[in-house]
Chain A
């Protein structure tokens, strides 16, 4: 019972932080473009409105897919240590986290395929192609860190960086951090790697048939994915945190970098994106791995 309440509380916390980040991100982009921008709580208003709307479903698989994508990311979130705390006591295995993260994408793929819209199918196929692109450099960086620390536990990797900014992996392995940051841009689906959404081109890709509550679920999924992905980066490279407030602040720093890149870049075509991910961050990551091994 206690565990269930903890899981629920952690989920609410992750959703709250993710939505807050989304709102602040929109505000920052607006300020970069010399606009006033929406209020920082805009994402909450959007989600509230979406859940109050009528929604159109196409079949049972679409409902299941949407819930699966949210549940997949929420269960990933349970394994990410938040300033040393976790919803359920596990070893927070990095390999497990990466595999669980794919469930979110697969759920979205299921829902999109079930909606029967060709734009959604194109978007999902692009998202899965992009996954192929960013996973290889990201895994290479993680492999280096796992070899260096001798463990694949995210919590232990975070603990090993304790004691000042000079112990952070970000400072010790700047090349690895750079490669992971580029890959993170693609993981979050922000520009220049947002070919799977591309509103002007394929009408927001996987989300094309989602309206009302389904789009609300997609928003929540995106919020949790922001929380999870920034959380992984903080634990890997910024040494975790001693309390939750610091942790969220560090997460926001990671998110800020992503948003700043997002605000000023145009979009890669999908084959350009994969080519880029397999050359530039990949070679940086290999150099980093070589440095660690030698």
Chain B
């Protein structure tokens, strides 16, 4: 409903700017997990996403779209958040595969997050494990339609609900207490650890 209201107010200038944005999506593919393998074929001659004006970029400053291509470990999540915050607005996030939605086959791992949308706002998630280049192109075209209709504004959500995202990020990245509670082995470990901490 809100999107429809927003659509009414859009002027010709907005439409023109959105046309530019839609036809010139520059992506930053942060190659985590296995989805990175699907991107070279979609860029080369068989699928060729450059015909939509979609080009890979080298740095977050130049990029419009962040592609998170697979499972995200805690160490990676830290970097993804840094990269996402470095990108100038407007920016969009494309999450690949089931790993970024519910953890995929790594759902019970101690070190990979299960739902990326809890930590940064995700515009589109592509289904598949891994999505084939056709699915990637389909997702990018959906993103283009969203941009043209003025929907793709998840980056605004990040600003509005920053506390929510920050809380989730801190919960997994800045742990202060053990998650599973204390046990005997743990206390022993902590003691020994204390001796060897420099």
Q: Is the interface of A mostly helix, strand, loop or mixed?
A: loop
Is A203 a contact partner of B58 (Cβ separation < 8 A)?
Answer: yes
Interface residues of B in 45-64 (CB under 8 A from A): 45, 48, 50-53, 57-59, 61-62, 64
Separation of A215 and B59 alpha carbons in the complex (Å): 12
Separation of A211 and B87 alpha carbons in the complex (Å): 8
Is A35 a contact partner of B59 (Cβ separation < 8 A)?
Answer: no
Separation of A207 and B51 alpha carbons in the complex (Å): 24
Is A35 a contact partner of B24 (Cβ separation < 8 A)?
Answer: no
B23 at the A/B interface (Cβ < 8 Å)?
A: yes
Assuming the contacts A37-B51, A49-B24, asked whether A203 and B59 have C-beta atoms less than 8 A apart, the reply is yes
Interface string of B1-34 (1 = CB under 8 A from A): 0000000000000001101110110000000000
For A215, the chain B residues whose CB sits under 8 A away are: 61-62
Separation of A204 and B24 alpha carbons in the complex (Å): 18
Shortest distance in angstroms between A54's beta carbon and chain B's nearest beta carbon? 5
Report, as a range, how many residues of chain B touch the other chain.
20 to 34
Is A49 a contact partner of B21 (Cβ separation < 8 A)?
Answer: yes
Interface string of A200-226 (1 = CB under 8 A from B): 100110011111100100000000000
For A54, the chain B residues whose CB sits under 8 A away are: 88-90
For A52, the chain B residues whose CB sits under 8 A away are: 17, 20-21
Shortest distance in angstroms between B154's beta carbon and chain A's nearest beta carbon? 16
Is B90 a contact partner of A37 (Cβ separation < 8 A)?
Answer: no
For B61, the chain A residues whose CB sits under 8 A away are: 56, 208-211, 215
B44 at the A/B interface (Cβ < 8 Å)?
A: yes
Interface residues of B in 157-198 (CB under 8 A from A): none
Shortest distance in angstroms between A235's beta carbon and chain B's nearest beta carbon? 33
Is B88 a contact partner of A56 (Cβ separation < 8 A)?
Answer: yes
Is B58 a contact partner of A200 (Cβ separation < 8 A)?
Answer: yes
Q: Is the interface of B mostly helix, strand, loop or mixed?
A: loop
A243 at the A/B interface (Cβ < 8 Å)?
A: no
Separation of A209 and B89 alpha carbons in the complex (Å): 15
Interface string of B81-95 (1 = CB under 8 A from A): 000000111100000
Residue of A nearest to B52 (CB): A38
A59 at the A/B interface (Cβ < 8 Å)?
A: no
Separation of A55 and B48 alpha carbons in the complex (Å): 29
Shortest distance in angstroms between A197's beta carbon and chain B's nearest beta carbon? 9
Interface residues of A in 206-260 (CB under 8 A from B): 207-212, 215
Shortest distance in angstroms between B63's beta carbon and chain A's nearest beta carbon? 8
Is B58 a contact partner of A35 (Cβ separation < 8 A)?
Answer: no
Q: Using a CB–CB distance below 8 Å, which chain A residues touch chain B? A: 26, 30, 33-39, 42, 45-46, 48-49, 52-56, 199-200, 203-204, 207-212, 215
Q: A42-B23, A56-B61, A203-B59 are in contact. List 16 more A-B contacts (CB 8 A).
A: A26-B50, A30-B50, A35-B50, A36-B48, A36-B51, A38-B52, A42-B24, A45-B24, A48-B17, A49-B17, A49-B24, A53-B88, A54-B88, A208-B59, A209-B59, A211-B88
3 smallest A-B Cβ distances: which pairs?
A211-B61, A48-B20, A199-B58
Can you give 6 contacting A-B residue pairs, CB < 8 Å?
A36-B48, A49-B17, A49-B21, A53-B90, A208-B59, A211-B87
